[in-house]
């Protein structure tokens, strides 16, 4: 992978991480088109770290508030941080116990096509739920359910942001709170995945690490812009319109695989 391809894939990651269309699925599709299927989980983690930095930059005031409140032992802040940790726990548990199985899914491109169609079906539900949600803060049970939903988003093609926000809306959590909770819990999940990938990254060739770094930087910049667009779009209650894109992308990719591998 040269630096141009790394930058291209990093841009895809940044733009698709925060739109409910599955960034990991788009990376698999892009690498299928480019003939780049060998980079594996380390590059995935590198560009996800880039988008994690985008989240921290966009929600910097909220993150600072949570850090300050935690140090001051503010009970409200401690409860919210605890909910974020609880919501992250299921994905961490799965990542630790079935890491090899998770990585192997990235080697089966057809999974992405099917998963995108599933994501589209999930997004359709938000047409009904986004206007009915009234809660400003998720409860403990809400956090656990959202965290379980995030586990399914480990599958490439299942959108993490789409799944967690859609489930939060189903639980009655208002769109702004659902979006913030989804993105902040993503920070913990991405950081944990990055730690798990450190041994693989240490064994990677130096030339590959340069490409990973370029992809991560591009993902951070494009991701920050994508968050701004996402939040603005969510306010207009048009979240469900992404379902049509997921249906077309998923079906189209399956058709492409059938034609090229027959």
Residue 31's pLDDT is what?
78
Q: Which residue has the higher pLDDT, 32 or 243?
A: 243
Residue 33's pLDDT is what?
81
172: left (phi over 0), alpha (psi -120 to 50) or beta: left
**For the residues 15-20, what does the mean pLDDT come to?**
83
Q: pTM of the prediction? A: 0.84
Q: Which residue has the higher pLDDT, 191 or 163?
A: 163
Confidence band (pLDDT; 50, 70, 90) for 113? very high
Q: Which of 21-35, 58-72, 74-88 has the lowest mean pLDDT?
A: 21-35
Q: Which residue has the higher pLDDT, 39 or 211?
A: 211
Asked whether 234 and 64 are in contact (CB, 8 A), the reply is no
Confidence band (pLDDT; 50, 70, 90) for 222? very high
Secondary structure of residue 208 in the 3-state scheme: helix
Phi then psi for 135, rounded to 5 degrees? -85, 135
Confidence band (pLDDT; 50, 70, 90) for 37? very low
């Amino acid at each position: 992978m040269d630096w141009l391809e790394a930058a291209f894939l990093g841009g895809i990651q940044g733009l698709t991480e925060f739109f409910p269309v599955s960034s990991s699925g788009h990376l698999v599709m892009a690498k299928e088109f480019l003939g780049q299927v060998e980079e594996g989980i380390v590059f995935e983690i590198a560009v996800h770290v880039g988008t994690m930095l985008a989240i921290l930059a966009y929600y910097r005031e909220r993150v600072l508030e949570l850090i300050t409140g935690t140090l001051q032992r503010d009970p409200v802040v401690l409860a919210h941080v605890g909910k974020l940790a609880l919501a992250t726990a299921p994905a961490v548990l799965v990542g630790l116990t079935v890491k090899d199985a998770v990585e192997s899914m990235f080697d089966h491109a057809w999974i992405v096509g099917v998963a995108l169609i599933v994501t589209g079906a999930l997004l359709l539900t938000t047409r009904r739920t986004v206007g009915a949600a009234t809660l400003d803060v998720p409860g403990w049970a809400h956090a656990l359910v959202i965290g379980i939903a995030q586990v399914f988003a480990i599958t490439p093609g299942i959108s993490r942001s789409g799944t967690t926000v859609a489930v939060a809306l189903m639980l009655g959590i208002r769109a702004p709170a659902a979006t913030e909770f989804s993105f902040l819990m993503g920070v913990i999940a991405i950081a944990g995945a990055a730690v798990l990938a450190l041994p693989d990254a240490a064994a990677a060739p130096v030339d590959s690490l340069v490409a990973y770094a370029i992809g991560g930087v591009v993902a951070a910049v494009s991701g920050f812009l994508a968050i701004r667009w996402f939040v603005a779009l969510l306010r207009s209650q048009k979240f469900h319109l992404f379902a049509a894109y997921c249906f077309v992308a998923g079906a189209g990719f399956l058709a492409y695989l059938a034609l090229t591998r027959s």
